[in-house]
Amino acid sequence: MQVETIVNGGISLILSPENPLEEELIKGLMKQQNEIQEFRTPQTILNKTFRNGIVIGKKSAMAPDKKSEATTEVIPDDPK
């Protein structure tokens, strides 16, 4: 999957699938109600540790870690 950022009057994150599986993953992500969670301290997610970053995932599956400095934004379902 290719990931790009564009800054042009705002900031956009582009996810570009490189195979059918990645395309289906993006479609699934778009169909569910998501939230964005930022972390600035090391976090372990599915046995992989990240120093900092942003997680986009299903709202009900993401409980903020009380030890981390996390901010959360709810992204509504696509009105289509």
| Domain shared by 27 and 45, yes or no | no
**SS3 call for 15:** strand
| Domain shared by 19 and 38, yes or no | no
| Domain shared by 38 and 66, yes or no | yes
The predicted structure's pLDDT at residue 69: 46
Nearest to 76 by CA among 38, 31, 16, 39: 31
Distances (CA, A) of 60 to 44, 57, 72, 77: 18, 9, 12, 13
Domain limits at 11? 1-31
Please tell me the total count of domains within the chain: 2
pTM: 0.62
| Domain shared by 9 and 26, yes or no | yes
With cut-offs at 50, 70 and 90, classify the pLDDT of residue 10: very high
| Domain shared by 27 and 44, yes or no | no
Condensed to tens digits (0 to 9), the pLDDT of residues 57-76 reads 998 766 554 444 445 555 55
